């Protein structure tokens, strides 16, 4: 699998370990930085990873910051990305099987590295179920902003849902 990998300064050490770990498992890893432990801003790494996933240049993305939350918020601004903070086996499995999450986010300040590796293996090995879940993911795609910034092209937003104008 082709994996886009990124971190800020807080996640740098975990990223370096995960890069070697994923490569040893046979994955192709593209490192988007950070390239050192100096203070850095998580959006600077989350967005390029997310864009690579959305463009099909990577099958999945993995992001690490202090909590995973900043990376997730940033990555989810990119249309086509469904980033999830993974903290336990159930939400990890369901993020893939039900939500088709394509970017995993972790926190170096809130999770042990060995737990991250376990969750990452579960996430990478879980397939999207499709079926009724596919229609739900399609609804997410329908509200994603277009290049013009309009989440409901040709329609209006009414109570959080798109309706015909």
CB 5 within 8 A of CB 15: yes
CB 116 within 8 A of CB 87: no
Q: Is 105 a residue of the active site?
A: no
Number of H helices, E strands in the chain: 6, 7
From 65, 105, 133, 162, the catalytic residue:
65
- For residue 107, give every residue at least 6 positions away whose Cβ sits within 8 Å of its Cβ, in sequence order, or none: 11, 64, 65, 66, 67, 68, 69, 85
CB 64 within 8 A of CB 111: no
E strand segments, the chain:
2-7, 28-31, 60-65, 83-85, 103-107, 155-158, 161-164
Q: Is 21 a residue of the active site?
A: no
30 token code pair: 């593209």
From 9, 21, 27, 98, the catalytic residue:
98
Which are the catalytic amino acids? Answer: 65, 98
């Amino acid at each position: 699998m082709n994996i886009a990998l990124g971190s800020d300064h807080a996640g740098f050490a975990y990223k370096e370990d995960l890069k070697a770990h994923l490569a040893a498992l046979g994955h192709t890893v593209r490192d988007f930085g950070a390239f050192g432990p100096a203070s850095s801003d998580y959006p600077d790494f989350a967005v390029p990873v997310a864009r690579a996933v959305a463009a099909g240049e990577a099958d999945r993305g993995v992001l690490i910051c202090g909590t995973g939350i900043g990376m997730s918020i940033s990555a989810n601004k990119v249309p086509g990305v469904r980033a999830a903070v993974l903290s336990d086996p159930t939400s990890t499995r369901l993020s893939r099987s039900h939500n088709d999450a394509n970017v995993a986010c972790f926190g170096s300040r809130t999770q042990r590295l060995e737990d991250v590796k376990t969750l990452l293996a579960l996430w990478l090995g879980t397939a999207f179920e499709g079926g009724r879940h596919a229609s739900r993911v399609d609804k997410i795609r329908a509200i994603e902003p277009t290049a013009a910034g309009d989440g409901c092209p040709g329609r209006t937003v009414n109570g959080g849902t798109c309706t015909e104008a």
